[in-house]
Every structure is written in structure tokens, then in C-alpha cells.
Amino acid sequence: MSDIVNGIVQAVDLIVTFNPEVMQIAALSLYISLSATIIAALIAIPAGALIHFNDFFGKRAVIIVIQTLYSVPTVVVGLILYLLISRSGPLGVLGLLFTPQGMILGQTILIIPIMIGLVISALSGIDRGISDTLLSLGATQFQKIIEIVREARFAILSAVVIGFGRAIAEVGVAMMIGGNIRDHTRVLTTAITLETGMGKFPLSIALGIILLIIALIVVVVLNLITSALSADMQQIAGRGPNG
Amino acid sequence: MIRIEHLTRAFGIKEVLRDITLDIRKGEIFTLIGPSGSGKSTLIRLIDLLDSPSSGKIFFDGADTAGPEKDRLAIRRRMSMVFQKPAVLNTTVAENVAFGLKFRGVPAKEAEEKVRFALNLVGLADLYGRKAVTLSGGEMQRVALARAMVTEPEVLLLDEPTANLDPVSSEMIEDLIVRINKRFGTTMVMSTHDMVQGQRLADRIGVIMDGRLAQVGSSSEIFYQPKGRQIARFVGIDAITGGRVIENKGGHALIRVGETCFEALTPIPGGKRVSLCIRPEDVTLTPSDSVSEKTSMRNRIVGRIKKIVPSGPFVRVTVDCGFPLIALITRRSCTDLGLSPGSMVIAGVKATAIHVLPDDGVA
């Protein structure tokens, strides 16, 4: 019990004094997971729209595969990527192993399926009548898609937030691809694992609290961005082809 | 304005529309009536080019609509549609109305004026900045109407626009439809399963039964001279079956049904099997013990009242004359005449009020 109380007291101290090591780890975590989230969102939103708005043979199967990949273990993604980017692997020349860039790639791969899947269900949640209404009002296919994505903006935001949550909270890829190298690839989760193993609970608790604070800040900021974004997209739709 | 030729639409093996040929004239209100699931919505979606026919053609203002998507879009932009369930997007009323203008690249300032004009037209000017999702069903449908009219369409399509609304809102929408048609000369095609509404609004009516266009004509043609028993039933007539023309003198026929003889006007010659369509409101009832007064009624049939069912301010009285004959009379006259189940009455029908249908396999 005293460990926990002690830990929390020291954790607060580490945070309020902006302990350089703690801050460096937190910043790197944020940089890697946020980069992965942005890249994944840029791929997942168009990909989800592409799957949702087109009818093709095997669509159902594709969606089932995507949903299965929601639960792919982080260490499996780590293992496969490790084999691909290690020196002797097919992508070894890129030199991504044990780099933050490698970790970004790994987390992007990890969260793309859940983002695509949730984007598809966000778009499916929009009433079919909306699509017909937009077309009957003279929308081109492109204008229609923009408006439907805009209509689904809050559900799509949730998809992005959930993706970010999975990225910042995972250990497997960070450990196997990053290697937990101090000042280079050490992130919050790998640091917590290490410090806890060494019995340094206060640092672990401090890092855990920071992880939650980061999550809070990111969610708030993404919410603000969505509101602004909906105004922008309206202009894009107005300027669409044939528009 | 719109010409449809031999149009068929199948989903899988199910043919929802079969061999529809129809002309919709410029400036008219044309209603499509028919039971739910008869294919009305499918036809309206096809006219709006939201769907493509399996076979057959649709011409808009003389132009074949089966062109590339670019041409179809140009034609679609000359029409607008109001759906049964108004779908509003989660934004302000003004933005909802502005969509059609935005898609056409109308400058913001001009668009704002048009939006205000359209909202004024439907009487919702003060809801300009409101969130559209907070509106009532009737208000949403009026927004949908403003949204459809803001682009000044040549053709307005309405798919059961009042089916989900309360009577007051329905009346308001009906009123707007007629006013818009008069004021702007917009050609209107409206579907409804409410035959009375169809009758009230339409210049011409098309009856769709089971995917086929069963009859096209003015409302009096549809309501008084239905072309088949199924249509008769839909427009509120339970046809009397099993009749046979005994003789026909220059269009004045004597028709026997069971023990009873009717006089009616029809060109159908003697010997043919027929059904009789009598609108319930054309049947008068008098108690059988009353003194026979002078009347122009040629057909007076004695029967026993089987049941009396209230229907708003009216009652539907089913009289057993060997076959069921239905009369629609006011509640007051029902009470005044002292009618009750089991009592004997004389039912009167004018010869001119009987519409005779040949029994030639047409259901």
C-alpha cells in the first residue's frame, strides 16, 4: 500500500517539476502515436469510404477480414514487421528497425483495420434516405460522398480517437520494433514495463498518469478539430467537380 | 414533359414494375395511387434518375435519359424530389435548404436570398438558423419542400409526402403543393396510397396495381368508372359479383343478380356476365315500413341490415339483399331512420350510379 501512496506522491513531483527524462519519454510517445494516428486516418477514411460506397464481389468478406484484424495482437504485428524490416529482411535496406519511424509504421499498421472498420460503420449509420436526398438535389457522386462523410463526422472522429487510444496504449510493437532504447525509442508503455520490472514504482505511476493526461488532451483537441473541419468540408463540397 | 415507354424494373427475379407506358404533361399535377408495395416509389425514383430501368425508356422533355452519368446529372438537376421520410442533415435549416444551390455552385449571396425566399414560401422564415434535427415531422417536410423548390425545378416529384404526417400538417403540405403548382407552373408527379388525397389534388390519376399501370384518367373516371374489380375495391367500391345482363335496349340494361334485377346504363349486350360497382354514398336507405314516396330511383331492393360500422361522421351500413350492398350515410340519418342490425330496409340506387364491369377475366 505504501508503495502506491509513495508512488503517487513522487509521480506528482516528477510531473510538476517537468522532470526532463519523463517529459522526453512523454513527448516521444505522443509524437509516435499521433503520427501513426494521422497517417492511419489519412488512409483509413478514404479506404473506408471506398469500401462503403462501392459494391464489389467479396465486399462482405473484406469487411469480415478487417473486423478480425481489430483484435490482432500487437506482438504479432511487431513480429511480422520485425521480420520485414530487420537487416536481413526484404525491407532491411530502409534501416527502420529500432527507430521511431519504424515504430510509427508498426502502430499505423496496427490501427488501420480498426479505423477502416469503424469508418465503414460510421458511414453505414447514415440513413439511406440522405444519400437519395443528396442525389435528388443534384449532387455529383463526389459531392454526395463529401456530405455523407461530413454528416458522419462525429462517428468518424470516434474511429480516429479509438485508433489513437490503441496506438498510445500498445507495448508489443514499441518494444519489438523500437527496442526501448533510452533517449531514442523509449516510450511511456515500454518505460513503465521496464521501471516496474526494476521495482521503480513511482516512475511507473508517474508515466501511467501522464499517459492518461495525454489521452485526455488529444481527445479534446480532436473534438475541436472536428468542429472546424466540418466548416471546411462544406467549402470543398461547394467547389466540387461539375459544381 | 416526361414520357415513359414500356418500362420494366426487376430486382433479381421479382418484377416490381411491368411494362409501364405513361405520358406526364407539362404543368399538370399527376398522382400515382396504389396500395403499399405496388411499385409507386420505384417508379418515382426511376423518373428522378436515382435508378435505371431494367428495360424500356424514360424521356425527359424529349431527351432520352439513358445517357452517360454527366447527362443524367444535368437532367436530374432540372427536377427535385420530396421523399416520404424527410431526411434532413445535421445542420441548420438554412443550410439544408441551400444544398441544391451549393451543388450547383450558386454564389453564397445569391443562394442566401433564394433560401430566404423558399423558406418564406413554405412559411418557415423564422426557422432560418434553427438546427434542422430539432424540427417536428411536419416542419421537416416543409423544409424538404423548400429545399426541393429552391432550385426552381421544372418537375417536382413527391413520394407519399404526407404519409407520415398528422392531418393538420398533411393539409398544409397539400395546400403548398397546389399553390406551388399554380404559381410556378411546376409539373408535379406525386404518389400516394390515400385515394382521397389523390382525387383532391390531381389533374390526372394513374392507378398502379401490382407493378402495372392499371388505369389512367381524370379523378371522376377513376372513382366512378374503375376499369376492374381490383381498382374498384381500392377506390372504395366493393363490387357486386355474379350478375348477368338479361336484356339491353340501347344502352339501358336489365341485370339480374341472384333474385334481384337492377337497371343500369351500359353498352354490354344481353347474356354477358358482369359485376356492378356502386359507390356506397350513392345508396339511399329507407325503412321498409315507410310509405313509398315518389322517387327517381329505378332500383329499390329490400334487404336486412347485417351490420353498422361507424366511420367518422358517417356509418357504413351493410345490407343483405342476397348479396351484400353497402351504404354510406350520416350518423344523424342513421339515428333518424332508426336503423339497427336486423331491421328491414329498402335500398335505393339510381340507374346512373351503377358502373357495370364486364367479367372477362379482369380481376
* Through-space distance between the first and last CA atoms of chain A, rounded to whole angstroms: 66
For residue B157, list its beta bridge partners. B81, B189
Contact A129 B102 (CB under 8 A): no
Here the cell at position A81 is: 514487421
pLDDT of residue B290: 64
Report the residue of chain A nearest B83, measured CA to CA. Answer: A133
Contact A147 B99 (CB under 8 A): yes
Closest CA to B276 of B351, B199, B361, B195: B351
pLDDT at residue B287, rounded to an integer: 84
Using an 8 Å CB-CB cutoff, list chain A residues near B103.
Answer: 134, 137-140, 143, 237, 240, 243
pLDDT at A232 over 70: no
Which of B299, B347, B355 has the alpha carbon at shortest distance from B327? B347
Three-state SS at B125:
helix
What's the burial of A154, exposed, middle or buried (CB within 10 Å: 0-12/13-18/19+)? middle
Counting one residue from chain A and one from chain B, the pairs whose CB atoms sit within 8 A come to: 66
User: Which residues, other chains included, contact B188 with Cβ-Cβ below 8 Å and sequence gap of 6+?
Assistant: B28, B29, B30, B155, B156, B157, B158, B177, B180, B181
List per-block mean pLDDT (blocks of 10 residues) for chain B, which spans 363 residues. Answer: 96 94 96 91 96 95 93 96 93 95 95 96 93 92 96 96 91 93 95 87 93 92 87 84 88 88 89 90 83 66 90 90 90 88 89 86 45
Count how many Cα atoms sit within 13 Å of the Cα of residue B132 in the half-sphere of its side chain.
22
CB contact under 8 A, A138 and B85: no
Type of residue found at B109: K
Residue with the three cell numbers 354477358:
B272
**pLDDT category of residue A231 using cuts at 50, 70 and 90:** low
DSSP class per residue in B177-207: HHHHHHHH--EEEEEES-HHHHHHH-SEEEE
Q: Which one of B73, B83, B95 has the shortest CB-CB distance to A133?
A: B83
Q: What is the largest CA-CA distance in chain B?
A: 78
For residue B223, give every residue at least 6 positions away whose Cβ sits within 8 Å of its Cβ, in sequence order, or none.
Answer: B195, B199, B235, B236, B279
ipTM above 0.90, yes or no: no
Q: What is the DSSP string of A119-153?
A: HHHHHHTS-HHHHHHHHHTT--HHHHHHHHHHHTH
How do residues A13-37 score in pLDDT, each as one tens digit?
888 999 998 899 999 999 999 999 9
- Model confidence over A188-200: pLDDT tens digits? 999 999 999 998 8
